[in-house]
């Protein structure tokens, strides 16, 4: 999956699955997810992480649950792309990732 495809999937999660008042076309890669942007709160952030894990069939490790990771859509897309690449080839990316494989 390309990073552009990851970004488009992220936009879909936000517009379709989260309780946020935003239009798909208003979501740019640089839109902040917290203050001065979408204004996501902690509950919606947990829903976003859950949506990411389900949609991309990955587990976001605790060490990536940082403000930097969720700064904007582009930073989230970069992390997801790295997670997807690590699932395909864990030795080359320094991320310990496994596919969910639990049907969620």
67: confidence class by pLDDT, cuts 50, 70, 90 = very high
User: Which pair of tokens denotes residue 72?
Assistant: 């904007």
The predicted structure's pLDDT at residue 96: 47
* Biggest CA pair distance of the chain: 40
pTM, entire model: 0.82
Which residues lie across from 72 on neighbouring strands?
Answer: 32
pLDDT for 98 beyond 90 = no
Model pLDDT for residues 68-97, shown as the tens digit of each residue: 999 999 999 999 999 999 887 755 444 544
3-state secondary structure of 65: coil
The predicted structure's pLDDT at residue 92: 46
Model pLDDT for residues 8-65, shown as the tens digit of each residue: 999 999 999 998 999 999 999 999 999 889 999 999 999 999 999 999 999 999 999 9
The predicted structure's pLDDT at residue 39: 92
Domains of the chain: 3-92 (1.10.1200.10)
Burial track 75-92 (b if 16+ CB lie within 10 A, e otherwise):
bbbebbbbbbebbeeeee
| Residues 6+ away with beta carbon under 8 Å from 93 | 82, 85, 86
């Amino acid at each position: 999956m390309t990073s552009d495809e990851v970004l488009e999937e992220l936009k879909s999660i936000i517009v379709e699955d989260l309780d946020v008042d935003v239009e798909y076309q208003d979501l740019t890669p640089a839109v902040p997810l917290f203050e001065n942007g979408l204004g996501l709160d902690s509950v919606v952030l947990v829903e976003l992480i859950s949506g990411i894990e389900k949609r991309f069939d990955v587990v976001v490790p605790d060490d990536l649950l940082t403000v930097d990771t969720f700064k904007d859509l582009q930073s989230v897309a970069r992390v997801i792309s790295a997670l997807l690449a690590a699932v395909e080839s864990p030795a080359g990316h320094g991320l310990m990732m496994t596919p969910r494989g639990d049907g969620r």
